[in-house]
Amino acid sequence: MKAGNVLFGLLLIGLGVYAGVKFKDLPMLKLNDTKEEISISDDTLQNGAHSHRRPVDSIIYLTNSEQATIDLFQKSAPSVCYITTLNQQRDYWSRNITEIPSGTGSGFVWDKQGHIVTNFHVLQGGEKYKVTLSDRTTWDATVVGVEPNKDLAVLKIDVKADQLHPIPLGRSSVLKVGQSVYAIGNPFGLDQSLSTGVISALGREITSVGGRAIRDVIQTDAAINPGNSGGPLLDSYGRLIGVNTMIYSTSGASAGIGFSIPVDEVNWVVSDLIKFGKIKRAVLGVTLLPQQYAQNWNIEGVMILSVSPESGAAKAGLKALEQTRNGEIIYGDIITGINEKTVKNYDDLYLALEKYNAGDKVKVEYVRDKEKRSTDVVLSNQ
């Protein structure tokens, strides 16, 4: 019995020694490992089976398309400015005059001389104007010229050339439906906002503030909201292809249909406004019968009401409306075309002639005594 107890004791001692040796060979548990295990355990206790959060990847991955858009915005945004329209108000009692902001819009730098292009309707009704550049500096602006019939205007600020970043010009005559476009402006007063989209349609016609038609307008689904007016529409190279002018919407906010004046139109209008302060139009040297009378008389074209002496029209032999002593009306020549381009109304003639300069010769098609005729007319300045 005693021998059995001795053997049992020796067995226990041997097992203890063996266990001690094995425990010594195990790797030491690090303090931070212990904390990690504790944190996992605590998280598990608090959130059930929820595992610990994975580390966040701080590297930003961009597609080529995204990077191109970012580069375009960073390159073009310094050219876009914020325009504030001010009106003056006199206090009834003190008679002091204060300037009250009456509207805002967008514009962009045209050249290094400080010319800023925007919409005419952005300035309409204002008495003073301020331009805020992308560097947050604000400058008083003077009006160089306006053209309501094209909804375009030019301001000028007195600023150093190195603060100005003109937008390069593209061409609107080569645009395609489906082409990517980018609008930068100040919608709802939020400056330096970018919206993207495509050209939805070309050759649209809208009516300007001045009541004249603007043709070959660009339609886009890039979001254009109040405050975007006067801002640039750019192609994927950052070139100006249009000036954002209006939206089609029942709510007053963007509904996916915006319109931009094509850059080919903008280029010659702005150049004239800077050089002359107004548009220098080439004219035939005639006045026309008001459109309502032409409609009442079922005239297809525009009838000449009078011809200016020594004008190109007078030298070409065009005849005006006459009234005899007996009160009989003799129709004047009815212009139906300019250089093979059909003229049905005043807008047609107005737009056909704006492509030419004074001194250019155009072929005028007209009807006299129900007979179709044509003659060459040398255009003169308005």
- List the chain domain ranges: 76-163, 180-276, 282-381
Q: What angle do CA 47, 51, 54 make, to 5 degrees?
A: 125
Instruction: Output the pLDDT for position 43.
Output: 47
Residue 173 annotated among the catalytic residues of the structure: no
Rounded percentage of the chain residues whose pLDDT exceeds 70? 78
Return the minimum-mean-pLDDT range out of 25-34, 94-103, 310-319.
25-34
> Exposure of 340 by Cβ count < 10 A (0-12 exposed, 13-18 middle, 19+ buried)?
exposed
Model-wide pTM > 0.85: no
Tokens at 11, concatenated: 């067995």
Biggest CA pair distance of the chain: 161
Task: Please tell me the distance from the alpha carbon of residue 16 to that of residue 162, in angstroms, as a whole number.
Answer: 87
Spell out the residues 6+ positions from residue 345 whose beta carbon is closer than 8 angstroms to its own: 291, 294, 302
Tokens at 22, concatenated: 């094995």
Q: 282-381 domain in CATH 1.10.8.60?
A: no
Identify the active-site residue in 79, 172, 200, 229: 229
Q: Which CATH number fits domain 76-163: 3.30.450.20, 2.40.10.10, 2.60.15.10, 3.40.50.2300?
A: 2.40.10.10
Residue 50 annotated among the catalytic residues of the structure: no
Rounded percentage of the chain residues whose pLDDT exceeds 90? 55
Residue 121 annotated among the catalytic residues of the structure: yes
Q: How confident is the model at residue 53 (pLDDT cuts 50, 70, 90)?
A: confident
Q: What is the DSSP letter of 149?
A: G
Return the minimum-mean-pLDDT range out of 233-247, 268-282, 291-305.
291-305
Return the higher-pLDDT residue of 254 and 109.
Answer: 109
Q: Are 199 and 213 in contact (CB under 8 A)?
A: no
Please determine, for residue 89, whether its predicted confidence score (pLDDT) is greater than 80.
no
Instruction: Output the pLDDT for position 200.
Output: 95
Please determine, for residue 136, whether its predicted confidence score (pLDDT) is greater than 70.
yes
Identify the active-site residue in 79, 115, 121, 380: 121
Could you give the C-alpha distances from 353 to 280, 311, 357, in angstroms and in order?
A: 11, 15, 8
Return the minimum-mean-pLDDT range out of 142-156, 207-221, 289-303, 356-370.
289-303
Identify the active-site residue in 79, 151, 191, 333: 151
Please determine, for residue 317, whether its predicted confidence score (pLDDT) is greater than 50.
yes
Q: 180-276 and 282-381 share one CATH topology?
A: no
Instruction: Output the pLDDT for position 226.
Output: 76
The CATH class of 180-276 is mainly beta
Please determine, for residue 163, whether its predicted confidence score (pLDDT) is greater than 50.
yes
